[in-house]
Each structure stands twice: as structure tokens, then as C-alpha cells.
């Protein structure tokens, strides 16, 4: 590492599950880019102080943002690009020459691109998403642009789920959207794609977000958690013979988008 090295970060709490620092530092080395990406473990109470401090570090160029800061950090940014503005959720930020904080969100596009790249189909599918936080909002909004047949949103906080439904309806007013409370006896059997966009699965002994045995044998079970690669949810799905989609594909399919956003290539 040289004095000219540019520093990028990955902001999270907890931090153990993040893959971006390893992925991007490897890419920097491969492309001979004088930069590194480091994990930054920050809890929500210190988020604003950390952002204000990073503004003062002139060779700190930007970062990716993950659980649980995606919506909170949107309020601390000076400018939100289109997807971040609409979703009010952020997963990439950079500093301009005046140290103003510019933000965007590639989670939704990243999930869709990664899913399609694994030869799964989205068009005309009944989709269910668990969660209504930052990543769920981005993914649901991107799915609304993909000619899916219907969307079911299941979340503990029904108000947040309803807010997400309104955003989805702005994108696709004709899409059939249903909201259900997490505790209710919801049906999953008619869903072709079921996505865990909650943090359940990050920690050992987390309960499963839903009962995989209540899904159709033809359903695709997707998780956005990257570490562990094979969450308990995906293990259960594989045991029952379901097709699965791993969380790592969401970040991997964002590499090119993020690189252009950060002016790396």
C-alpha cells in the first residue's frame, strides 16, 4: 500500500458476513488499481459521526453499505441518484471533489441481473419477498419492472410493507400486489420465486424466515445473505429438492455498476 492508495469501505453491523472487501480488493489487484476496500463495523448510534469523520479523510473515496444502514444513511447524503432517491435506500456512496456525499442503489438491479444470469426466469412469475427494509425495497421495485405476474410482501411491520407496496404500484400500477403480516398463516404454495430479504440467517440459531415445506416443489428459494453462503434456509430448500439462488450473486452482479459509479473504470 502506497501513500497514493485510495481507500474504499464496506459499512455494516454485523461485519462478519460481508464479501465486498475481499471481492473488490482482489479486483483492484487484478486490474492494477491503486486502491483497497476495508470492512468498517459501525453501529447505528455512531453512523452519523463516522460519516462526518470519513468526509475529512481525503483519500477515502467511497463505500458500499449493507445491513442495517441502507435507509438510515440515505438521510446523511447530499445527493441521491435516481434509484436511491426513489427507494430512499442506499448501498453505494462516493465523495465528490468537494467531499459531498453522492449515493445510489444497485441492489435491485444486482439481484435481477444475478438471478437471470443463473438461468432462472422472472417474467410472468408469482414472487414473494420476505422483508420491507432497504434491500427488499430495491429488489421489489426492480422486480416490478420485470413483467412479473404478482408480488406478495411479507413483513413483521405491516406499515412498512404497505409503504413498499405503494412504491411498487408507482412503478407498475397494474401489478397484483398483496401484503401479509409475518405472523399470519400465509400461503406460499402458489409462489414461483420466494426471496428472503431479511437478516434472518446471518446468525447461528436464527429461525428460518418461512417453512420451506409449504412451498411448491418447483419454487426457487432465494437468499440475499452472502455469509454463510449456504444459509440454513437454503440448506433446507436443497434437502427438499428445491432450486436455490445464493446471495453472493447480488453483489457479484453489481461489480461493473459499482465500478462505473465510483469512477474506477
At 26-38, the pLDDT tens digits run 999 999 999 999 9
- Report the DSSP beta bridge partners of residue 60: 7
Residue 78 near residue 99 (C-beta atoms within 8 A): no
- Report the DSSP beta bridge partners of residue 177: 151
The reported pTM is 0.92
How many whole angstroms separate alpha carbon 102 and alpha carbon 233?
35
> Which one has a higher pLDDT value, 175 or 187?
175
Residues of 24-39 as b/e, b for ≥16 C-beta within 10 angstroms?
bbebbeeeebebbbeb
pLDDT value at residue 242? 98
Half-sphere exposure (Cβ direction) of 61: Cα atoms closer than 13 Å: 16
**Percent of the chain scoring above 90 in pLDDT:** 89
Least confident of 41-45, 95-99, 204-208: 204-208
pLDDT value at residue 1? 64
- For this structure, is 100 an active site residue? no
- In sequence order, which residues have a C-beta less than 8 Å from that of residue 141 and are 6 or more positions away? 83, 86, 87, 108, 167, 168, 171
Instruction: Give the number of other CB atoms < 10 A from CB of residue 120.
Output: 15
Catalytic residue among 70, 94, 125, 160: 70
Amino acid at each position: 500500500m502506497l501513500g497514493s492508495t485510495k481507500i474504499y469501505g464496506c459499512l455494516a453491523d454485523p461485519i462478519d458476513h460481508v464479501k465486498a472487501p475481499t471481492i473488490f480488493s482482489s479486483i483492484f489487484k487484478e486490474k492494477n488499481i491503486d486502491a483497497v476496500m476495508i470492512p468498517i463495523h459501525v453501529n447505528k448510534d455512531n453512523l452519523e459521526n463516522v460519516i462526518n469523520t470519513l468526509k475529512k479523510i481525503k483519500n477515502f473515496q467511497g463505500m458500499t453499505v449493507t445491513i442495517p444502514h441502507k435507509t438510515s444513511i440515505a438521510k446523511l447524503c447530499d445527493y441521491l441518484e435516481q434509484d436511491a432517491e426513489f427507494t430512499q435506500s442506499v448501498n453505494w456512496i462516493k465523495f465528490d471533489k468537494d467531499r459531498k456525499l453522492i449515493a445510489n442503489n444497485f441492489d435491485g438491479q444486482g439481484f435481477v441481473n444475478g438471478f437471470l444470469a443463473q438461468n432462472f426466469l422472472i417474467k410472468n412469475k408469482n414472487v414473494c419477498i420476505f422483508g420491507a427494509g432497504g434491500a427488499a425495497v430495491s429488489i421489489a421495485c426492480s422486480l416490478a419492472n420485470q413483467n412479473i405476474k404478482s408480488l406478495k410482501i411479507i413483513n413483521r411491520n405491516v406499515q412498512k410493507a404497505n409503504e413498499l407496496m405503494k412504491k411498487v404500484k408507482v412503478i407498475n400500477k397494474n401489478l397484483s400486489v398483496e401484503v401479509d403480516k409475518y405472523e399470519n398463516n400465509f400461503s406460499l404454495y402458489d409462489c414461483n420465486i420466494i426471496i428472503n430479504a431479511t437478516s434472518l440467517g446471518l446468525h447461528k440459531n436464527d429461525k428460518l424466515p418461512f417453512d420451506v415445506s409449504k412451498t411448491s416443489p418447483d419454487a426457487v428459494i432465494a437468499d440475499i445473505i452472502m455469509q454463510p453462503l449456504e444459509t440454513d434456509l437454503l440448506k433446507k430448500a436443497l434437502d427438499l429438492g428445491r432450486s436455490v439462488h445464493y446471495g453472493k450473486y447480488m453483489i457479484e452482479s453489481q461489480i461493473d455498476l459499482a465500478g462505473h459509479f465510483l469512477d474506477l473504470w
